[in-house]
Structure 1
Amino acid sequence: MSEPDKPVLHVIAGSTRPGRAGIAVARWVAEYAEKHDAFAVELIDLAEVALPLFDEPHHPRLRRYTHEHTKRWSATVERADAFVFVVPEYNHSFNAATKNALDYLVHEWAHKPVGLVSYGGVAGGTRAVQALKPILSQLKMTPLPESVIIPFIASFLEGDGENRRFTPNAEIEDGATAMLDALARTAPVLRQLR
């Protein structure tokens, strides 16, 4: 299958804070997805997207966007066929930048499968994943049961700051393969609903 024929997978780095671990994880997921070879992969960094706190005057279901940042975000999300959200766990939930990015749009998310990669301490971000799933479902996305949970994230990181490198173990790689396989099976089916 040639590159243009492949479904587009967006790996979304949800954390935006300085010194975040998530960008290293998201880079690894994007690289791993490229090697998996079922998708044309794009890494989307919410820190670079830099959406302000939701500021559109109209409900997103109307698609009457007034701000250029919203129009750009709409076009970005629209071109994806599937997503992997890489999210941290903050206070037993997922982070505000991810929620804000989701809230900006409605139709652009619909009928697309989602894999979830979470990280944190002993719980590995499992509560973030559980908090995120109802929101994804409300947006008519399909969160898959194949998730990647990364406990004790610091033990998988090398280096300092934004240039840290994430090195997974075999279990994390196996989980990522299962998630990508499930996304590859589901994306063409859901595309028919769009």
Structure 2
Amino acid sequence: MTQPNIAIIIGSTRDTRFADKPAAWLLENAQKRDDMRFELVDLRDYDLPLFNEAASNLWMPSSDPRAVKWQQKLAEFDGFIFLTAEYNHSVTGSLKNALDQAYKEWNHKPAAAMGYGGVGAARAIEHLRGIAVELQMVPLRNAVHLGGGDFFKVSPLGANGPMSEVEANLKPALDAMLDELLWWTEATMAQRAKTA
């Protein structure tokens, strides 16, 4: 079996987003493993329109070339880690739109998450799991939550310190999430190959 290829999708596109700091930390720590490959995928790079297709690409090909480019990128991956903020107790609008712009490319692949904010984006990640089920993904139990005092230690809203200040608190959750991600990625890759 080939080594799983995992996308770390940055789910915020705001000019003043905090996502870049935890994204760099997540990628650096994930890349210490030798059993999966990781790539940052930034929604800023895809200029996705608001979903305006006649139907999901489950039913008919998308017409907007920006959506098609996004779908082609997603098809390269065997699993996903979504890095999300929490906007009004849910995922960012840009992330929800990106999820809606594809369908087949998400199917039968695991969905992990890291969230950040006052409560570690716990409610956003719960919503993300429900969306993932509808996209026929495998939402993972384990997630990384950068919240509370740890969030304010590293956020510009607080002390704006380096991620190393909170790494000891986040690393056990990250390890558990990546171990679970590997298990489900290998299982779904095997089954997708069997039924292709």
Q: Deviations over 1:109-145 (max 9, x none)?
A: 0111111101101x11111111111110111111111
> Is 2:74 the counterpart of 1:77?
yes
What is the Cα deviation at residue 71 of structure 1?
A: 1.4
Corresponding residue of 2:144: 148
Corresponding residue of 1:130: 126
What is the Cα deviation at residue 88 of structure 1?
A: 0.4
Contact 1:15 1:23 in 2 (8 A): no
The percent identity for this pair of structures is 34
Partners of 2:78 and 2:102 in 1: CA distance? 15
SS of residue in 1 equivalent to 2:177: helix
What is the Cα deviation at residue 157 of structure 1?
A: 4.3
**Root-mean-square deviation over aligned CA pairs:** 1.8
Contact 1:7 1:40 in 2 (8 A): yes
Contact 1:84 1:115 in 2 (8 A): yes
Where does 1:113-124 land on structure 2 (aligned, <5 Å)? 113-121=110-118, 123-124=119-120
Q: Which residue of 46, 49, 56 maps to 2:46?
A: 49
Q: Deviations over 1:82-118 (max 9, x none)?
A: 1100000111111111100000111110111111101
- Give me the TM-score of the superposition, normalised by structure 2: 0.88
Corresponding residue of 1:178: 176
Q: Which residue of 13, 17, 21 maps to 2:18?
A: 21
Gaps of 5+ in 2: none
Q: Deviations over 1:145-166 (max 9, x none)?
A: 11001114231247xxxxx953
Compare relative contact order (CA 8 Å, sep 6+) and give the higher one, 1 or 2. Answer: 1
Corresponding residue of 1:101: 98
2:170 maps to amino acid: I
Corresponding residue of 1:34: 31
Contact 2:56 2:103 in 1 (8 A): no
Contact 1:117 1:147 in 2 (8 A): yes
2:183 maps to amino acid: R
